[in-house]
Every structure is written in structure tokens, then in C-alpha cells.
Amino acid sequence: MSTTAPIRLGTRRSALAQAQSGHVAEALSAIAGRPVELVPIVSEGDTNRASLSEIGGTGIFANLLREALVAGKCDILVHSLKDLPTAMPPELVIAATPARVDARDVVITRDGTPLHELRTGSAIGTGAPRRIAQVRRRAPHAKVVDIRGNVDSRLARVESGDLDAVILAAAGLSRLGSESTLHREELGLAEWPTAPGQGALAVETTVDAPAELLAALAELEDEDTRLAITVERAILAGLDVGCQAPMAAHAVVSGDSVRVRAVVYEPNGEGRIGLDVTESLNRGYIRRNGSGNEANAADGADPMRTARDIGDSAAHRLLEQGAADFLPRE
């Protein structure tokens, strides 16, 4: 790759995908000193309008983009991390996880009525099995409408009165800079945890990408975000389900520890199995060397491996409590 040629960034064609890719492109261009051009690619998730709960979500937004990357049609990809399968193709690598933004879900309504206070029979739009189960727990008197479509089309259905509310990701609204007269209710992560990786992006490239490109991408990396999403995705992998399962996992890194909240829901919302734990990440341990003059990281300290182990352990604990009974097998 020429050191002056544009870096080709593959992205889905949706407004949200183009917006978040644009943010990465701007930051990467400043780091690399090279232009970054967007290469629109159609994914299966953009063309298949069936319900996510029917077609499954594993790879539906990523597979065709990855094929384009491997074929050399682009140099990097930007994904919403929550859409990525946990199994990585051997020829690809997540080269950067920029700092995560707001991971919460929000309820959008016309008049600001909280979700749990919406009148009986209110129509609430969402297509994600996790959100469907959460709505059925928070507002069992409401009617869930399984919807697909971009953010603007979902907001329009509330504005028109076709729906009384929709559930959206705060991160998507923020990245789009969406302006609307509709009301927002932010849902706290303690009571309403979200999908593994929600609010985070993944910048993906090939394992044999040029060293200068990998070095530039490395400067986009946020370690706390990487550690948190590593825990969350290890939980998802340990449960052996796709990213559209009725489960939530959110991790928050603080210094050398990480707090993990994970919940698996019964699809109808009646049952739930969860955990809330705080664990050490093994990244803050420092020991003196023999001279007593220099500080070095403790031998064998690997916070990323520790993060994977924490997530795997959390998944096993959920399964021991019976979570498998609530999960579809793929």
C-alpha cells in the first residue's frame, strides 16, 4: 500500500454506519496523514427485511463486509461491535476499539411518558429479542411490535402515531446527531443492561495489513474499552449463542478492576438469571526488580487474558444457574 494513497474504509450504506465510519475516518486521517475514503458495501442485514428474531443476527451485518475486506476491495472496516460474531476469522483482526460512548438504551415517546407508565395496549417497537424480553418485564401491559429499519424510519413511526414508543441505542442517536421533538427516557444500565459491545466500535483489518496502517490504527485504541468488551464478548461466547440472544452484558473498568453485570432473559420476559460481580484485571500489579530501583510489570500479567477468563467464568456461572433453558441454540 502506498503511504500517500487513500485508506479505503468499508462501511454499510446506512446513515448510522456512514456516520460512525466518518468519525473513525476523520481521526485516522489525522493520525496517518493520509485521506480516508468510505467504500459503501451492502450487507445481508441491509437487504433482508425479515425479523432479526427469525433470521438470527450472527454475522448478518458483517459477513459481506468481511468478504470485501479479504478480497482487497477495502483496507479496513468499521463495525458496531455488538453486531460482530465472537468467533474471529483467522485472516482478520480487530486492530482498534476506540473509546466507547453511551452504552444505554433509550425509550422514545411523543409525550415523555415513562415506559412502565405507558397505557395498556401501547405499541412499543423493537426487533431485538433482548429488548423484547426487557420490555415485557418493564411494561407487561404493553404490546411489542417487531420492527426493522433505520433510526429515522423508527422515529417517524412514533411521530405519526403508528407506534407509541421505540427502543433505540443512545450511541446511535448521538453519532447521527439526530434532532427530534420526541422525548427520550434513558434506561439505566443497572436495571436495563444492554448487548455485549453496545456503544463501542471495532476497526477491523487483515492480519497481514501493512505495518504503517496497523500502527496508525493502534493509536485509535482505548484500553479500558477493549478490556470491557473482551469481558462482555467472552460471556456471549461462553453461553454459545448468537448476538441476537435474549441476554445482556455490560462491563465497566475502573483502575485495576472491572464490574460485570450480565442477565439472561426468558423470551417472554417472565424469568431472568443474572449476576453482578467485581473482579481484578491483573493489570496494576508492579514489583521491584532485584536492584530495587526500577519497577516492572509482574511476570505473566496479561489483563486481556484475565478479561476473557472473567467473562468465561461469568458465562459458566449463568449456565450453572439454568440460563441455558432461556437461550436458543444456533
Distance between CA atoms of residues 311 and 229, nearest Å:
10
| 79 and 30 part of one domain | yes
pLDDT confidence of residue 244: 73
Please name the residue that has the C-alpha cell 424510519.
153
| 204 and 90 part of one domain | yes
Core vs surface per residue 122-132: b (16+ CB within 10 A) or e: bbbbbbbbbbb
CA dihedral for 109, 112, 115, 121, sign (positive or negative): negative
pLDDT-derived band of residue 243, with 50, 70 and 90 as boundaries?
low
Is 102 assigned a catalytic role?
no
Asked whether 261 and 207 are in contact (CB, 8 A), the reply is no
Asked whether 31 and 220 are in contact (CB, 8 A), the reply is yes
- pLDDT average, residue stretch 284-308: 59
- Chain segment 37-55, per-residue pLDDT in tens: 999 997 554 444 445 444 4
Torsional class of 219: left (φ above 0), alpha (ψ -120 to 50), beta (otherwise)? alpha
| 253 and 119 part of one domain | no
Active-site residue, from 75, 83, 105, 164: 83
Distance between CA atoms of residues 330 and 328, nearest Å:
7
What domain range is 261 assigned to?
247-326
Residue 138 lies in a domain: yes
- Min mean pLDDT across 41-45, 150-154, 266-270, 314-318 is at 41-45
Residue 232 lies in a domain: no
DSSP string, 158-185: HHTTS-SEEEEEHHHHHHHT---SSEEE
What are the grid coordinates assigned to 133, written together? Answer: 424480553
| 139 and 77 part of one domain | no
Number of domains into which the chain is organized: 3
- Chain segment 42-98, per-residue pLDDT in tens: 755 444 444 544 445 545 678 899 999 999 999 999 999 998 999 999 999 999 999
